[in-house]
Structure 1
Amino acid sequence: MSKHFQNFIDGKWCDSSSGETLSSINPANNEEVVGQFPHSTNEDVDAAVYAAKEAFTTWKRVSSLKRGDYLHQVANNLEKKIDDIAWTATMEMGKTLVETRGEVMRAVQILRYYAQEGYRKEGDVIPSGGDNNFLFTKRVPLGVIGIISPWNFPIAIPVWKIAPALVYGNTVVLKPASETALTAIKIMEAFAEAELPNGVINLVTGQGSVVGEAVIHHEHVNAISFTGSNDIGKKIALACIERGAKYQLEMGGKNPAIILEDADLEQAAELTVSGAMKHTGQKCTATSRAFIHEEVYEEFKEKILSKVKKIRLGAGVEESTYMGPLSSSNQQKNVLRFIENGIAAGASLLFGGKVPEGDAYKHGYYVEPTIFENVDPRSELAQEEIFGPVLCLFKINGIDQALEQANDSRFGLSASLFTNDISRSLTYMNEIEAGLIKVNGESAGVELQAPFGGMKQSSSHSREQGEAAKEFFTAIKTITITPVN
Structure 2
Amino acid sequence: MRTLETLVGGEWVASADWIDVLDPADVRTPVARVPALTAEDVTRAFDHAERGFTLWKRTSPFERSRVFTDAARLIRERVEEIAADVTAENGKTLTEATGETLKAADFLEYYAGLARQGYGTLLHDVRPHHRTHTQREPIGVILVISPWNDPLITPARKLAPLLATGNAAVFKPATDTPVSGLHFARALHDAGLPAGVLNVVTGRTAEIEEALLDDSRIAGITFTGSNAVGNRIRRRIADRNVRFQGELGGKNASVVLKDADLRAAAKAVVAASFGQAGQRCTATSRVVVEQPVYEEFTRLLVAGVEGLKVGPGSDPATTLCPLAGVKQRDGVLAALAGAVEEGATVLTGGHADSEGGRVFGCYVQPTVLGDVTPGMAIWREEVFGPVLVLRTVDGFDAAVEAVNDSGYGLAAAVFTRDLAHAHRFADEAECGQVAVNSTTTGWDVHLPFGGFHDSGTAYKEQGEEVLRFSTRVKTVAVHFGG
TM-score range, shorter chain: over 0.9
Instruction: Kindly provide the CA deviation profile for residues 278-324 of structure 1, in whole angstroms up to 9, marking residues without a partner as x.
Output: 10000010000000111110000000111111111000000000011
TM-aligned CA deviation for residue 241 of structure 1: 2.3
In structure 2, distance between residues paired with 1:228 and 1:213: 18
The answer to whether the 8 A contact 2:373-2:391 is kept is no
Whether 2:16 is the aligned partner of 1:12: answer: no
In structure 1, distance between residues paired with 2:443 and 2:211: 32
In structure 2, distance between residues paired with 1:213 and 1:333: 29
Instruction: Kindly provide the CA deviation profile for residues 66-96 of structure 1, in whole angstroms up to 9, marking residues without a partner as x.
Output: 1111100110111111111111010101110
The answer to whether the 8 A contact 2:369-2:389 is kept is yes
Indicate the SS of the match to 1:241.
coil
Alignment of 1:376-455 (within 5 A): 376-455=373-452
In structure 1, distance between residues paired with 2:72 and 2:208: 27
The letter of the residue matching 1:193 is D
Q: Tell me the residue number matched to 1:355.
A: 352
Match for residue 332 of structure 2 among 331, 335, 340 = 335
Match for residue 98 of structure 1 among 81, 95, 100 = 95
The answer to whether the 8 A contact 2:354-2:360 is kept is no
Indicate the SS of the match to 1:242.
coil
Match for residue 472 of structure 2 among 456, 469, 475 = 475
| Structure 1 unaligned regions, length at least 5 | none
TM-aligned CA deviation for residue 119 of structure 1: 1.8
In structure 2, distance between residues paired with 1:102 and 1:55: 31
TM-aligned CA deviation for residue 112 of structure 1: 0.4
The letter of the residue matching 1:480 is A
Indicate the SS of the match to 1:388.
coil
The letter of the residue matching 1:459 is G
Indicate the SS of the match to 2:413.
strand
The letter of the residue matching 2:370 is E
Q: Tell me the residue number matched to 2:71.
A: 74
RMSD: 1.0
Bigger shift: residues 205-214 or 276-285: 205-214
The answer to whether the 8 A contact 2:129-2:481 is kept is no
The answer to whether the 8 A contact 1:257-1:272 is kept is yes
Match for residue 298 of structure 2 among 297, 301, 310 = 301
The answer to whether the 8 A contact 1:314-1:360 is kept is no
Indicate the SS of the match to 2:465.
helix
TM-aligned CA deviation for residue 484 of structure 1: 5.1
The letter of the residue matching 2:138 is P
**Quick one: structure 1 residues 4 and 352, their matched pair in 2 at CA, closer, same or farther if it must change by over 3 Å?**
same
TM-aligned CA deviation for residue 378 of structure 1: 2.0
The answer to whether the 8 A contact 1:27-1:93 is kept is yes
Q: Tell me the residue number matched to 2:259.
A: 262
Q: Tell me the residue number matched to 1:159.
A: 156
| Structure 2 unaligned regions, length at least 5 | none
The answer to whether the 8 A contact 1:78-1:190 is kept is yes
The answer to whether the 8 A contact 1:85-1:187 is kept is no
Q: Tell me the residue number matched to 2:168.
A: 171
The answer to whether the 8 A contact 2:257-2:396 is kept is yes
In structure 1, distance between residues paired with 2:149 and 2:209: 17
TM-score w.r.t. length of structure 2:
0.98
Whether 2:54 is the aligned partner of 1:53: answer: no
4+ runs deviating over 4 angstroms:
none
Q: Tell me the residue number matched to 1:42.
A: 39
TM-aligned CA deviation for residue 212 of structure 1: 4.3
Q: Tell me the residue number matched to 1:148.
A: 145
The answer to whether the 8 A contact 2:49-2:198 is kept is yes
The answer to whether the 8 A contact 1:97-1:319 is kept is yes
Match for residue 206 of structure 1 among 203, 207, 213 = 203
In structure 1, distance between residues paired with 2:211 and 2:334: 32
Alignment of 1:89-238 (within 5 A): 89-238=86-235
The answer to whether the 8 A contact 1:148-1:212 is kept is no
TM-aligned CA deviation for residue 482 of structure 1: 2.2
In structure 2, distance between residues paired with 1:209 and 1:445: 33
**Quick one: structure 1 residues 70 and 167, their matched pair in 2 at CA, closer, same or farther if it must change by over 3 Å?**
same
In structure 2, distance between residues paired with 1:3 and 1:213: 29
Indicate the SS of the match to 1:25.
strand
Indicate the SS of the match to 1:411.
coil
Q: Tell me the residue number matched to 2:282.
A: 285
Indicate the SS of the match to 2:223.
strand
Q: Tell me the residue number matched to 2:456.
A: 459
Identity of aligned residues (%): 35
The answer to whether the 8 A contact 2:107-2:445 is kept is yes
